[in-house]
């Protein structure tokens, strides 16, 4: 079910989705839930987003998952201290948010020696753009 009239489907992205991979981070940072929650809160500020709530979990023997619920969507951080690796997901809607700035902040804060940032538009795109995106990601879509 859709929440808008069929003829009014926007042909523009509704948001931006950043997927950030951080490598070779110091282990002590990746297993510190207090540090990670502070980084999450600051990342929301740097992204010019509105933090609504947050939750985190410290795994035994190590690893942390933290999630920030934003008015604009979310930021999630998942750490694997044993590998020096962090998976970050930032999805923001609207035009005022700056998720790429939050990504830059997290690269520096977690002292990553290597990182990969993938940015995807979210929402309905013009057909030619959607086709190029699908081809570049080697994805197939299904219409319902």
Catalytic residues: 73, 78, 93
Give phi and psi for 130, each to the nearest 5: -60, -45
22-60 exposure pattern, b = at least 16 Cβ within 10 A, e = fewer? beebeeebbbbbeebbebbeebbebbebebeebeeeeee
- 82 and 74 in contact (C-beta within 8 Å)? no
Compute the CA torsion angle 86, 92, 97, 100 (nearest 10 deg). 30
């Amino acid at each position: 079910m859709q929440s808008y009239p069929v003829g009014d489907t926007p042909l523009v992205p509704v948001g931006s989705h950043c997927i950030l991979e951080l490598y070779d981070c110091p282990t002590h940072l990746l297993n510190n839930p207090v540090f990670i929650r502070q980084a999450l809160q600051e990342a929301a500020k740097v992204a010019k987003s509105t933090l609504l709530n947050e939750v985190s979990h410290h795994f035994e023997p190590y690893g942390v998952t933290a999630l920030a619920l934003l008015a604009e969507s979310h930021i999630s951080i998942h750490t694997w201290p044993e590998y020096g690796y962090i998976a970050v997901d930032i999805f923001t809607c609207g035009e005022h948010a700056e998720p790429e700035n939050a990504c830059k902040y997290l690269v520096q804060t977690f002292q990553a020696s290597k990182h990969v940032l993938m940015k995807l538009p979210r929402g309905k795109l013009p057909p030619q753009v959607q086709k190029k995106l699908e081809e570049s990601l080697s994805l197939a879509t299904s219409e319902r």
